[in-house]
Amino acid sequence: MIAVSNIEKSFGEFKVLKGITTTFETGKTNLIIGQSGSGKTVLLKSLLGIFTPEQGTISFDGRIYSELSDDDKRTLRTEIGMVFQGSALFDSMTVEENIGFPLKMFSNKNISEIQDRVNVVINRVNLINANKKKPSEISGGMQKRVAIARAIVNNPKYLFCDEPNSGLDPKTAIVIDYLIQEITQEYNITTVINTHDMNSVMEIGEKIVFLKEGILAWEGTKKEIFKTDNEAIVDFVYSSNLFKKIRKAQNKEGF
């Protein structure tokens, strides 16, 4: 579990995060949503240690990040996997080389052990027969699978995903959503997803944190979204007529 307590982050005189307090639960897909400029990316980068809040604490299963020694911070970083928005694969490397890169950098495994682990995660994300291909030779959806495989190859406790569905068609996006959720539950990972995709919210939103102008305006589950009277989250999620109809139908059916 990742616990965030009263964190604030500013850039100059502009305060981006304003006293955020919440938890990201283990074994669940935790989604951060909000409009552009709401602070969701700054929150994600604060969790990753890229930004340092001026106030408040972030703890990883009881370990307060700001109180850790440099060695303990390095250890914590080895427990983190990251899926980047554009996949961020190395064009010159094959699929298996991309996936094995974190093991070469952060583990003491030999070449044979690395290859065995790479093959395990390749099978897990259903990338059979893609080992020797370059990123340019596979589809966008397969590139996302490679990015997910690379993120989990080192058995992380914490998985962060920045807009994992960016650039994907709706059908492929849902497949990637469910793959992330399955891996989260299977390996009991604390997964935090920064997204603007409302399909993701409706499909895999086990814990949803909604930010508005740097404030935590609402939190709950995908089921609770259908019942909430919070105007801020309703206006954001049901901004289109289609989602308004869905909400109305779900309420009528007692979802």
The answer on pLDDT for 254 being more than 60 is no
Averaged over 3-18, what is the pLDDT? Answer: 95
CA 129 to CA 131: how far, in whole Å?
6
The answer on pLDDT for 241 being more than 80 is no
Q: Which residues contact 2 (CB under 8 A, 6 or more apart)?
A: 23, 24, 47, 58, 59, 60, 61, 158, 190, 192
Per-residue confidence (pLDDT) for residue 10, from 0 to 100: 95
CA 172 to CA 157: how far, in whole Å?
26
150: pLDDT confidence band, cut at 50, 70 and 90?
very high
244 assigned to some structural domain: no
Q: State whether 174 and 145 are in the same domain.
A: no
85 assigned to some structural domain: no
Tokens linked to 168: 């994907």
Q: Locate all alpha helices (DSSP H) within 83-162, ordered by sequence.
A: 95-106, 111-124, 140-152
The answer on pLDDT for 81 being more than 60 is yes
CA 114 to CA 100: how far, in whole Å?
6
Per-residue confidence (pLDDT) for residue 106, from 0 to 100: 84
CB-based contact 126:145 (threshold 8 Å): yes
Q: How many residues does the chain have?
A: 255
Q: State whether 170 and 144 are in the same domain.
A: no
Q: State whether 171 and 72 are in the same domain.
A: yes
- Alpha carbon 146 to chain centroid distance? 15
For the stretch 82-110, pLDDT in tens is: 999 888 899 999 999 999 999 998 888 89
Per-residue confidence (pLDDT) for residue 247, from 0 to 100: 63
249 assigned to some structural domain: no
Higher pLDDT, 154 or 227: 154
Per-residue confidence (pLDDT) for residue 64, from 0 to 100: 95
The answer on pLDDT for 16 being more than 80 is yes
Averaged over 121-126, what is the pLDDT? Answer: 92
| Domain count for the chain | 2
Q: Which residues contact 100 (CB under 8 A, 6 or more apart)?
A: 114, 115, 117, 118, 153
pLDDT-above-70 percentage for the chain: 93
Per-residue confidence (pLDDT) for residue 60, from 0 to 100: 97
80: pLDDT confidence band, cut at 50, 70 and 90?
very high
Q: State whether 68 and 129 are in the same domain.
A: no
The answer on pLDDT for 249 being more than 80 is no
In 34-188, beta strands by DSSP E: 55-60, 63-64, 80-83, 158-162
Averaged over 197-202, what is the pLDDT? Answer: 87
- Give the domain CATH number at 176: 3.40.50.300
Smallest CA-to-CA distance from 135 within 181, 89, 69 is with: 89
Q: State whether 178 and 108 are in the same domain.
A: no
The answer on pLDDT for 35 being more than 70 is yes
CB-based contact 7:59 (threshold 8 Å): no
C-alpha dihedral (109, 155, 117, 150), degrees to nearest 10: -100
For the stretch 208-221, pLDDT in tens is: 999 999 999 999 99
Q: State whether 14 and 70 are in the same domain.
A: yes
Find tokens 């495989």 and name the residue: 149
Note down the domain range covering 118: 91-155
CA 57 to CA 53: how far, in whole Å?
8
